[in-house]
Structures are given as structure tokens and as C-alpha cells.
Amino acid sequence: MDGFSQRYEAALTLAARAHRDQTRKGSDVPYIVHPVHVSVILLRHGLGEDVVVAGLLHDVVEDQDVPLAEIESAFGPAVAEMVAVLTEQKKEGGVPRPWTDRKQESLDTLLTASDEALAVKAADVTHNSRGLVQQLHEAGPTIWQHYTRGPKESLWYYQRVAAIIGERLGEHPLALELAAAVRELARAIAETEGD
């Protein structure tokens, strides 16, 4: 994808509307900043339009209950499949599911996910890791009060994601960028936990 397209515009509009009342954890930054960054990372690595569009939409089902059928109808089955792979089932029967169960299920799904879905997850975790590093440098370990889990568990999950993607995508520049971002997060956690 070389730049603007009607599909990208439509996906950006859907994501912006879906996330309009959501902010990034522990800040007043509008949530839409995250999926836009994910899509930019994917664009920078030369991935196709379906992957970039999935990057914009990767959280709308999980966080905002946008029906997957709506995504498939508007953007096609390939985009819907990537979004489905990256969507955690946060509740079961209206009851929140345990964090460890959700994260292990997510990791298990990555073992057989398409390379395209792995690319979206890599861009997602790359941006999230960088965001955590920035928050740690600005506010220190108090940031963890805004998260479901603390630094140890969060780092464990991101390291496992990076390991799986590294095994699956090898030396792809996106996998290498993800690994570097997670190493930077590990350093930032070690530095701030030592205070």
C-alpha cells in the first residue's frame, strides 16, 4: 500500500468512531493514536492494504464490540480473519475471564496464525512496548496501577509474543523491531523497579 485509499479512510473512520470515548491507559491520549501507529508501522514495513486496514481495526471487536460481521462486510474476509485472530474473548457468559487464560489463549493462537496476522500483532506489541517505556520514563512504576497486571507479568507476555513471532517470521525486519522494543521495555522495567 503506497498511501491513501478509500478502504484505509473507511477503516480509520470506523476505528476513530468506535474508540472515540476511549483513552490510552493511564493518560488522556485518545485511543485512536494506538491503531494509527500500528497501521503506520505496518505501512513502513511495506505490508499490503488488508494488513494495514486490519492494524487500524485490530481492537474494535475486543474493546468496542463492533460485530466481526460488520468488518467482514465492509473490508472483506481476509481483514476480518486477522481481526478475529487478534481479538481476545474478555468475557464468558458476561463474566470477565482471567487474564492468564486470555493471554495464554492469545499466545496459543499465534502459533498457527497467518503471517499477516502475526505482522499486525508484532506492530501492536511494538507500539504498546514503546508506549510503556515512555510512560515509565515519565511517571515511573506508578503506571502499573492502570494495568491489569504488573511489570513482571506484562513483560512475560510481551516476551512470549516476541519469541513466537521471531520463531515464525525469522529475520523479518518487523520481528526484529518487535524484539528490540521488548528488550527496551525490559531495560526500562529493570531501571524503574530498581528505584
Average pLDDT over residues 30-44: 97
Element (H, E) at 95: strand 95-96
Closest CA to 52 of 174, 176, 183, 161: 174
Q: What does the alpha-carbon distance between residue 5 and residue 39 come to, in Å, rounded to a whole number?
A: 13
Half-sphere exposure of 189 (CA within 13 A, CB side): 20
Model confidence pLDDT, tens digit, residues 119-147? 999 999 999 999 999 999 999 999 999 99
**Structure-model confidence comparison of residues 53 and 91, the more confident one:** 53
Where do the H-state alpha helices sit in 96-172? 99-110, 115-139, 151-169
Q: What percent of the chain has pLDDT above 90?
A: 89
Q: What does the alpha-carbon distance between residue 105 and residue 90 come to, in Å, rounded to a whole number?
A: 11
Position 195 pLDDT exceeds 60? no
Q: What percent of the chain has pLDDT above 70?
A: 97
Average pLDDT over residues 86-112: 94
Q: What is the mean pLDDT of the chain?
A: 95
pLDDT at 2: 63
Model confidence pLDDT, tens digit, residues 154-169? 999 999 999 999 999 9
Q: What does the alpha-carbon distance between residue 182 and residue 179 come to, in Å, rounded to a whole number?
A: 5
pLDDT band at 26 (very low <50, low <70, confident <90, very high): confident
Closest CA to 19 of 50, 49, 61, 52: 61
Position 148 pLDDT exceeds 90? no
pLDDT at 43: 96
Closest CA to 43 of 4, 9, 86, 75: 4
Q: What does the alpha-carbon distance between residue 4 and residue 11 come to, in Å, rounded to a whole number?
A: 11
Average pLDDT over residues 77-98: 94
Active site residues: 62-63
Going from the N-terminus, what domains does the chain have, and what CATH number goes with each? 6-87+96-193 (1.10.3210.10)
pLDDT at 186: 97
pTM of the model: 0.95
* Size of the chain in residues: 195
Closest CA to 113 of 89, 76, 83: 83
